């Protein structure tokens, strides 16, 4: 076998709190992340290189193609970086071809790039029969980005046939600490999610750079939200679904604020919140009919609007 396809799932943040800034300029966070059934399809192929000059053709060794116009496919792409990292450690003399069938909007706060990178790492681990521990891949993933380990653990949970050892951390929901890489599995949320991305792209770095702790009026009680997930207590979950990065993104991007107010105007969702650094806004529903009505109207406002379920 020299080809495998993986589903690379998007994520939302049920809460996101910033505790402070670290010496390395990263921010210390606490958040609960949940994967949803919106995914890219990532197909990975590899071909052994037999000649002695293989190492001289680095530019030819990794190729990324995609159906998404405007998405970079060179060394700036996270899927490319994931392949290069795996190749450098485990299989230097091979050519890797990656096809990204994108459905997750880019620069949306949904970890689409991180999900693609996770899929590439898992695909190559499977194709090369590495039989790694899940923890080994999580530690590699954080070198690519803080969201990559969570994307790995969720994809492993949904893909039971992957040849990995010690899969106890596999989960589609997790409490994240540190810069987001310290993960504790949680019981997943069960519900319908309406996602709506206004036509603007947001740089995560720019949002964190502009973040001011003094402007945050309300922080989530992450411990209580986690308790709500364990108890399946929607009231505890709903009241702690807070994202402190809204203080930056909503103030600087009128279309994001407008989208949030629009989704709230239906008055049918348990909560309406921005995911990550934005700009995507999501609504939580337990009723498919109520969610569908809001989806039909929201689709007229923002083309990138989806009605999906959480992953459990």
- What pLDDT is stored for residue 49 in this prediction? 82
For CATH 3.30.70.890, list the domain ranges present in the chain: 192-309
**Alpha helices of the chain — where are they, by DSSP H?**
58-61, 78-90, 112-127, 134-141, 148-158, 204-210, 222-231, 234-239, 246-252, 254-265, 288-301
- What pLDDT is stored for residue 70 in this prediction? 84
- Please report, for residues 20, 93, 258, the alpha-carbon distance to residue 195 in angstroms, rounded to integers and kept in the order given: 29, 42, 14
Spatial neighbors of 110 by CB under 8 A, at least 6 apart, are: 10, 11, 12, 38, 104, 195, 275, 276, 280
For CATH 3.30.230.10, list the domain ranges present in the chain: 3-185
Residues of the chain with pLDDT under 70: 1, 51-60
- What pLDDT is stored for residue 200 in this prediction? 93
- What pLDDT is stored for residue 1 in this prediction? 67
Domain covering 3-185: architecture: 2-Layer Sandwich (3.30)
Catalytically annotated residues: 11, 147
Which residue(s) pair with 283 in the sheet?
194, 272
- What pLDDT is stored for residue 52 in this prediction? 47
- What pLDDT is stored for residue 51 in this prediction? 52
Spatial neighbors of 25 by CB under 8 A, at least 6 apart, are: none
- What pLDDT is stored for residue 289 in this prediction? 95
Highest CATH level, class, for 192-309: alpha beta
Can you give the pTM of this predicted structure? 0.94
């Amino acid at each position: 076998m020299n080809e495998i396809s993986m589903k690379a799932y998007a994520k939302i943040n049920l809460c996101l709190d910033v505790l402070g800034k670290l010496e390395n300029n990263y921010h210390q966070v606490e958040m609960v992340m949940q994967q949803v059934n919106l995914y890219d399809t990532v197909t990975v192929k590899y071909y052994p290189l037999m000649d002695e000059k293989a190492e001289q053709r680095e530019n030819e060794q990794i190729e990324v193609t995609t159906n998404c116009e405007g998405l970079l496919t060179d060394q700036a792409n996270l899927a490319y970086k994931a392949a290069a990292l795996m190749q450098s450690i485990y299989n230097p003399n091979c050519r890797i071809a990656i096809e990204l069938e994108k459905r997750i909007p880019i620069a949306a706060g949904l970890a689409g790039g991180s999900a693609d990178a996770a899929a590439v790492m898992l695909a190559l681990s499977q194709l090369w029969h590495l039989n790694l521990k899940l923890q080994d891949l999580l530690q590699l993933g954080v070198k690519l980005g803080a969201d990559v380990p969570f994307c790995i653990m969720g994809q492993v949970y949904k893909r039971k046939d992957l040849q990995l050892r010690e899969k106890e951390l596999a989960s589609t929901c997790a409490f994240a600490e540190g810069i987001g890489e310290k993960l504790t599995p949680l019981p997943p949320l069960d519900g319908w999610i309406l996602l709506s991305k206004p036509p603007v792209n947001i740089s995560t770095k720019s949002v964190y750079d502009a973040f001011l702790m003094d402007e945050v009026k309300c922080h989530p009680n992450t411990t209580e939200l986690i308790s709500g997930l364990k108890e399946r207590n929607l009231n505890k979950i709903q009241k702690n679904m807070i994202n402190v990065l809204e203080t930056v993104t909503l103030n600087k991007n009128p279309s994001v604020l407008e989208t949030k107010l629009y989704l709230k105007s239906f008055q049918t969702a348990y909560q309406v919140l921005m995911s990550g650094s934005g700009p995507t806004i999501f609504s939580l529903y337990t009723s498919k009919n109520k969610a569908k009505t809001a989806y039909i109207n929201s689709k007229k406002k923002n083309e990138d609007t989806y009605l999906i379920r959480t992953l459990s």
